[in-house]
Amino acid sequence: MKSRHLLDSARYAIEGLAHVLHRDWHMRLLFLIGAIVLLFSAVVRVTRVELVLLCVAITLVVLAEVLNSAIESVVDLVSPEYHPLAKVAKDLGGAGVLVAIAMGLLITAGVFINADVLDALRGAAQREAPHPLHVLLVGTVTVVVAVILGKVWGQRGTLTRGGAISAHSAVAFFCFVSIWFLTPDVITRLLGFGLAVLVAQSRVDAGIHTVREVLIGAGVALVVGFALYGALAMRTGA
């Protein structure tokens, strides 16, 4: 079936991602590991180039797993019974994932097993504080990954609507935490909190989420936000 609209293509892509997340626990594990790596990158203050390399490594592994799942689905459709060539196709798909993981580990090790990073971890060297956009990106990705995994494990709703955790509430409250740490202005902080509450309330009023689900989303964002910014504050001595 040919997509007639860009939004349709995006929706089909999200449905494909939801399928592989529900079907393959490896993909859920990769999402979790990717979020942890990005969080650690902010704490040890990697450079912008190192951050890009880490994002490339994570994307490479996830992409390989998606393609492997697609190959397995096609092979199961064409050859429901065992066939030597079907086995070869699946083995080749698995080999692609293995190569991608090896390359991802190599890139990640090259970034973290670095004299500057190791010295910074021991407190022997002071690296430049990460750019606020770096922290915001890492935190947002971590919150989104937590929401996606919660939706998958909760087995309710879809990745884009409904589910055990409200993504809108989570992102809104993470933005509030970011505002809290990035500005000392009380009025701005209160406005950020008020907007987060309004976003959460709108999901309840629209019947998309329950109060419990938006509270879970807010809780996830608050835990990730305060843990991330708190760790950075302790490392800077603030």
Give pLDDT tens digits for 168-181. Answer: 899 999 999 999 88
Asked whether the CA dihedral 162, 163, 168, 172 is positive or negative, the reply is: positive
In the chain the first and final C-alpha atoms are separated, in Å, by 56
Cα 31 off chain centre by: 6
pLDDT digits 0-9 by tens, 70-95: 888 888 888 888 888 888 888 898 89
Which residues, other chains included, contact 53 with Cβ-Cβ below 8 Å and sequence gap of 6+?
Answer: 107, 110, 111
Residue located via tokens 């490479």? 60
- Listed residue (36, 89, 26, 92) closest to 61, CA to CA: 26
Round to whole Å and give the CA distance between 238 and 234: 6
Mean pLDDT across the stretch 215-236? 80
Identify the H or E element spanning 227: helix 211-236
Is 65 a catalytic site residue? yes
What is the mean predicted confidence (pLDDT) over 201-228?
88
Q: Helix, strand or coil for residue 158?
A: coil
pLDDT for 35 beyond 60: yes
Q: Per-residue pLDDT averaged across 151-166, rounded?
A: 72
Q: Give Cβ neighbours of residue 117 (< 8 Å, ≥ 6 apart).
A: 44, 46, 111, 127
DSSP, residue by residue, 160-198: SS--SS-HHHHHHHHHHHHHHHH---HHHHHHHHHHHHH
Compute the distance between CA of residue 67 and CA of residue 63 in angstroms, rounded to an integer.
6
124 has a pLDDT exceeding 50: no
pTM to 2 decimal places? 0.72
Q: Looking at 65, 81, 128, 213, which residue is catalytic?
A: 65
